[in-house]
Amino acid sequence: MKTLDDLLGEGVSGRRVLVRADLNVPLDGDRITDDGRVRAALPTLRRLTEAGARVVVAAHLGRPKGAPDPAYSLRPVATRLGELLGTEVTLAGDVVGESARSAVGALGDGGVVLLENVRFDARETSKAEAERAGLAAELAALVGEDGAFVSDGFGVVHRKQASVYDVARVLPAYAGGLVLAELEVLRTLTGDPRRPYAVVLGGSKVSDKLAVIEALLPKVDRLLVGGGMCFTFLAAQGHGVGSSLLEQDMVDTCRRLLAEAGDKLVLPVDVVVADAFSADAATRTVPVTGIEDGWLGLDIGPETVAAFGAAVRDAGTLFWNGPMGVFELAPFAEGTRAVASAIAESEAFSVVGGGDSAAAVRVLGLPEDGFSHISTGGGASLEYLEGKDLPGVAVLSEER
């Protein structure tokens, strides 16, 4: 696979380079609540602009329905990217249309244009290869004859989409610095991790995490499960879970996993329950044997925090994906905060697996430098750990 270094070695001054970045940040209105992904995109963009490239960035925001939708405009991201780069970033008004062509045409050496949300074009996420190829060809045309493609949107490399996958087949394609750094960390986790290797998993659904649980169980020493998905496991152990999140059709699967995993799989022993999904609900801390009807579990309890903390403290390698509770609501943030702090304080090689967990680190004000690596890819890092091929990475080593 060719890399950004190879491209810089060839020389990029005056050349147009298309960069796929993952700038899919959480927004509150048009305020970015966590700009981690924008900051993670900077090193590759800076290396290109400093070398005199004319940089065209393609990115998505959320999941618009394949047509322009102002609620999903990359406008706030263009503003933030410009502030962080210390240079004007022009936002094109479309993806590959008139506005994109003229913005790219006006680019000078070292300049940056951000294309509007690439998912405003339905071909981006189309299942039909020919449709995606059509968009890929138009993206390639923006950078022209001596153009190049740098794949740096690690958070989206698990998607077989036009600006991630197909475009890499029509332009000379290079892996960006972020993609390379992320892959190196994940390789450490799948290779020969320092023991004990503990994984902390949370989030709402077992069904989303099933494949990764199955893939990790033989490799890890401890798998600590919190978050909404723990209730399906608790139900599989025979506990009543009241109105907590429950995936009824996963109960048998959880029962099998518990049997196979033995004492590797560690579940909460107490939880914080509430009488409503709300920050001002009545709350109690109860043992997992005492969740009453009408109450729902929204966080792990203090005894669980202590047990998870102990497992975290003696680990040599840690991977954490998924919050322990509804951390967005203050009364249910403590479990996530405490477990994340224990991870941050540990001496282990610690990796935060993207998405909500990465946002939680910053939103809860935890020290980012306490972690060895905070991934920008939630789904992408999980799929890697599951042993799946990441289309946006695999395509970079295809013979062409």
Closest contact distance (angstroms) between CB of 379 and Mg ion is: 5
* C-beta separation of 46 from 384 below 8 A: no
Active site residue 379: yes
Active site residue 205: yes
Q: Which residues bind ligand 3PG (CB under 6 A)?
A: 22, 24, 63, 155-156, 159, 355, 378-379
Q: Rule CB under 5 A: is residue 379 a binding residue for Mg ion? A: yes
> Which of the choices ligand 3PG, Mg ion, none does residue 24 contact, using the CB cut-off of 5 to 8 A by kind?
ligand 3PG
Closest contact distance (angstroms) between CB of 264 and ligand 3PG is: 28
* C-beta separation of 4 from 175 below 8 A: yes
Closest contact distance (angstroms) between CB of 23 and ligand 3PG is: 8
Choices 2-10, 134-142, 240-248, 375-383 (CB under 5 A): range interacting with Mg ion: 375-383
Closest contact distance (angstroms) between CB of 109 and Mg ion is: 35
Task: Output 268 or 379, the one with its CB closest to Mg ion.
Answer: 379
Task: Output 66 or 290, the one with its CB closest to Mg ion.
Answer: 66
Task: Output 35 or 356, the one with its CB closest to Mg ion.
Answer: 356
- The residue annotated as part of the active site, out of 15, 16, 20, 37, is 37
- The residue annotated as part of the active site, out of 176, 203, 335, 379, is 379
> Which of the choices ligand 3PG, Mg ion, none does residue 194 contact, using the CB cut-off of 5 to 8 A by kind?
none
- The residue annotated as part of the active site, out of 147, 355, 377, 378, is 355
Closest contact distance (angstroms) between CB of 161 and ligand 3PG is: 8
Active site residue 37: yes
Q: Give the residue among 150, 173, 174, 184 at the shortest CA–CA distance from 59.
A: 150
Neighbours of 195 (CB within 10 A): 11
Active site residue 2: no
Instruction: Using CB under 5 A, list all residues that contact Mg ion.
Output: 379
Active-site positions? Answer: 37, 205, 355, 379
